[in-house]
Amino acid sequence: MSAQRFIGANSREAMNQVRLALGEDALILSSRMTDVGVEILALAEEPPTPATADFAALSERLLSEIQAMRQLIDGRGKPSPLLKWLLDAGFSASLSQELLDHSPPPLPDATPARLKAWLTQRLDSQLIQLADEAELFSAPTIIALVGPTGVGKTTSTAKLAARYVMRHGPGPVALVSTDSFRIGAHEQLNIYAQLLGVELHALGPDAALGPLLDRLTDKRLVIIDTVGMSQRDQRLLTQINQLGASGRALRLMLVLNAASHGDTLDEVVHTYRDAAHAAGCCLDDCIISKCDEAARLGPVLDTLIRHGLRLNYLSAGQQVPEDLQLPGASNFLQQALDTSRPSRFASAPGKPTSQRLNALVRGLVGQRKAMLALRDSLVAHVDGFGPLLDAWPLMALPAAQQPARWDAFVSAQAPCAPVTAAKAAATQGNQHVVYRGERQRLGNLAGHAEAFGLRELRYRNRTARLTLSHLPVVLKDGAVRAWFGTLQDSHSGQRLGQRYWLAREPHGLHEQVSDLVQQLKHDELASLAARGKTLLIDMHPHLHAELQRYLAAGIAASAVLLSNASDDWAFQARAQLLGLLPKKPRGHAAEILEGVLHFCAITESL
């Protein structure tokens, strides 16, 4: 819908034209003074929906969501079979889409076995693997196994050594342990070394690695079992630097736990690789450990493919060396695509299960918990919200009972604090005042005013900047101070309007400015109260008049406070209240008011 322009002799006349043409909820885009009067650029909002219709729309939305859930439970609207397969296997959505860029067409003879074979081949083509062990051991090699704590580095060290000993004997092999922190780590590796008949050297925490490696130049294979460190340990970079400072060409081999979460694996690879590059080393090789403990191999294979790590071995048990296999000798890809056991975390929608019903129950319980927390937050931060909730159930009473119950409610409440009179009166630019002995329009005097700085505030769902200036003038009844305020959006610089006030001189300037800011924050209060009254009448046409005014004023005041507050609690409350609306909101105070109204109605059932 295009914006419309309205021109009036003053702001009141222009706004009357806007309301007459576009309604009370018109969106004011700009307001400025022109030679012919006040010009307002406005846009019609979507027609306001009566509260009863809003509740009906909310019910329809809930029903549609339930229907969509049933469709998912019935298996309709599922992703493609291949995508579902990969997601069920634990692969990320991004890699799954990448793998399926060249997926086969939906041929009539595409059986599940053939599709699985195609996926297996696709994964095999994307995964870098060690094909021949001779490639690893053909030349003198120093291997340092690195990785987080508990991933199986010590056992993998023994398995690697055992595989070499079976081919070449124990003489060319030496093991080095740098783990002096974990209790029993050296003793565990010492038992393996004795069984294999190979040398074992223990390195202290502060000892340099270079001199030891210089003494082992006659060994064709040196395997270093390093200290396990979390990827978030600040000492990790120091450890990798010590390996890089040895002066020898080391092959770093990262040991990854197949049972870890995909995000954890991704973080481990990122951190260890960054540390290796910072130390002048390369980290391109890995061993997957604990394959026998992992319910899904998809996350770890996904991580290897995305980071381009070469898979050298897979470890699936404690036996040395039987439980260390080359990729080509393992059926790990078939195992990775085995989705015969349903996953609670990755499976696509299927038939109804108790888990789905449990999830629905958890969702409903969670919503109730969130609403109760919101209620407590509003009661704690919004003055008068508790009594407002107490008065709300009175609407459901028969009309004949409402006056008596309202009187009882009023007598039980503490008296309201008196409203402090405004220290400055808002006015229009066409207001005539006397300046330097001449009668002039206030709007023509802004250029003579003295600047008073800026004030930041939340104004109508946005962060605004108020530029203030002031000027002493005279009215018929005496001297006053004229205030001029220009409102702009703090982010875009868009002009939001011009404001004028007249204040009596006895009050200090800063006290007057505080009053002006408060007036700006509450300038929607009257229109919101009228809107609240309309919504309440739609819900209960025979509502007691005093109760109606009290509730309308209460939800309006709450909406104004929530709209203007910039604290974290207010942001969370606004988000939850606006989420109750059946239409997509933009965060205006009128929408927050409707959210408060919905919430008060919901709270009755809690």
**In the chain, where the domains are located:** 4-43, 126-336, 365-418+525-605, 426-506
Q: State residue 174's pLDDT score.
A: 92
Classify each residue of 411-449 as buried b or exposed e, where b means 16 or more C-beta atoms within 10 Å of its C-beta.
eeeeeeeeeeeebbeebbbbbebebeeeeeebbebbeeb
Q: State residue 255's pLDDT score.
A: 94
Stretch (H or E) spanning 501: strand 495-504
Contact by Cβ (8 Å): 290, 255 = no
573: left (phi over 0), alpha (psi -120 to 50) or beta: alpha
Looking at the domain that runs over 126-336, which CATH code has it been given?
A: 3.40.50.300
Contact by Cβ (8 Å): 4, 43 = yes
Which alpha helices (DSSP H) does 382-494 contain, by range? Answer: 385-391, 402-412
The DSSP output letter for 328 is: G
Greatest alpha-carbon span in the chain: 112
Neighbours of 469 (CB within 10 A): 18
The DSSP output letter for 493 is: -
Contact by Cβ (8 Å): 40, 20 = no
Q: State residue 8's pLDDT score.
A: 77
Q: For every residue of 204-239, which 3-state class applies, written as one string?
A: CCCCCHHHHHHHCCCCCEEEEECCCCCCCCCCHHHH
Which residue type occupies 72? Answer: L
Contact by Cβ (8 Å): 90, 262 = yes
* SS3 of residue 33 by DSSP: strand
Q: Parallel, antiparallel, or unpaired: how do β-strands 4-8 and 37-43 relate?
A: antiparallel
Q: Which of 486, 580, 442, 565 has its CA nearest to residue 32?
A: 486
Q: State residue 46's pLDDT score.
A: 52
* SS3 of residue 382 by DSSP: coil
- The mean pLDDT values, 10 residues at a time, for the chain of 606 residues are 70 76 72 71 59 50 46 47 86 86 62 82 87 83 89 89 88 84 68 88 80 87 86 77 77 92 91 86 91 90 92 86 84 86 59 55 72 91 90 87 87 54 76 90 90 85 86 86 89 86 79 83 85 89 89 91 84 84 80 90 77
In whole angstroms, give the CA distance from residue 298 to residue 258. 9
* SS3 of residue 522 by DSSP: coil
Neighbours of 337 (CB within 10 A): 21
175 phi and psi angles, rounded to 5 deg: -110, 145
Q: Which of 323, 367, 363 has its CA nearest to residue 160?
A: 323
The CA–CA distances, whole Å, from 191 to 154, 155, 195, 200, 557 equal: 11, 11, 6, 10, 76
The DSSP output letter for 255 is: E
Q: State residue 66's pLDDT score.
A: 45
In whole angstroms, give the CA distance from residue 30 to residue 11. 12
Q: How many Cα atoms are found within 13 Å in the side-chain-facing hemisphere of 388? A: 25
Neighbours of 106 (CB within 10 A): 9
Residues paired with residue 470 on neighbouring β-strands, in sequence order: 450, 483
Q: State residue 65's pLDDT score.
A: 45
Q: State residue 7's pLDDT score.
A: 80
